[in-house]
Amino acid sequence: MEDRFLEAYDHHGDAIFRFCYAQTGQRELALDVMQDTFARVWRHLASRRSIKDIRPFLYTTARHAIIDHSRRASAQSLDVLREEGFDIADDRAVDPLLAATHAHTIGMLAKLEQPYREAVAMRYIDDLMPREIAQLTGEKENTISVRITRGLQQLKDLLHI
């Protein structure tokens, strides 16, 4: 059990963090949600319940954790957080212009409606193909492709491209 958990964390931890970050637009919250996701998976494995395929299980658990956190959180917009000094730029970024562009794009991604935000994030941040996203979310591949296309169009409109 412990070996399977550690292997899942090693192989999928970064992808789950990126998924949470793209969904929340907040680095600290994404870390909290990721931690909650893996804690839930640990409890599931500790209760001797089996997991057929760990990757879809992790994404589904992360989706549920994001929903739970958003229900508990007070409604603060990303703009309010920025005004209070919260910086979502990646600390490891070398180029400040690239970091600012990345932060702005993630901020705009957070403004998309949930199904579009999720599909675009999984496609372009997690680098998953529509077929893989469909398997992870339980949706049809065509539905995912449409969400990606519409999400990109909304993102372009928000970024004034």
Choose one of 36, 57, 88: the last residue of a domain: 88
Same domain, 72 and 132: no
Chain centroid offset of residue 137 CA: 13
Structure tokens at 74: 């007070």
Q: Report if pTM > 0.85.
A: no
Same domain, 118 and 80: no
Same domain, 110 and 69: no
The CA-based dihedral angle spanning residues 108, 38, 58, 88, taken in that order and rounded to the nearest 10 degrees: 10
Q: What is the DSSP string of 39-106?
A: HHHHHHHHTT---S-HHHHHHHHHHHHHHHHHHHS----HHHHHHTT---S-TT-S-HHHHHHHHHHH
pLDDT in tens, 47-88: 888 888 889 899 989 988 988 887 776 445 555 555 656 554
Question: Side chain identity at 79, as an amino acid letter?
Answer: D
pLDDT in tens, 115-139: 898 898 888 887 889 998 998 888 9
